[in-house]
Amino acid sequence: MTRDRSPLGLVGADAEAAFEITFDGRTLSALPGQSVAAALWAAGVLAWRTTRVGGRPRGAFCAIGQCYDCLATINGRPNRRACLVPARPGDAITTQEGDGHAGLTV
């Protein structure tokens, strides 16, 4: 007997159809209900921000919106917490460098 050990299988749920988002121009799949961070993790993307000082890579750390390590530019808006933003069809996520305001005019 084969046991389905996925979360969907354990609760007997059927997943809704995946949709497409992009990360730095690369097309990725996301599922309804996933956060942007979860969709990026599922696609093997572990870093989507660089630090202001030193340019070190960052991604999700706490995954509950407390640490701000997961900041990303989503649909042109910088400093969005990817662990809290639900992925939507057509979202364009780009690596955020520094404070996220380099290309913005005031």
40-50 confidence digits (pLDDT tens): 999 999 999 98
C-alpha dihedral, 29 to 35 to 37 to 38, nearest 10°: -60
CATH of domain 25-97: 3.10.20.440
**Tens digits of pLDDT across the chain (106 residues):** 555 577 666 666 667 889 999 999 999 999 999 999 999 999 999 999 988 888 888 888 888 888 888 899 999 999 999 999 999 999 999 999 877 766 555 4
Residues 6+ apart with CB under 8 A from 40: 23, 28, 46, 48, 59, 82, 93
Residue pair 83/70 in contact by the 8 Å Cβ criterion: yes
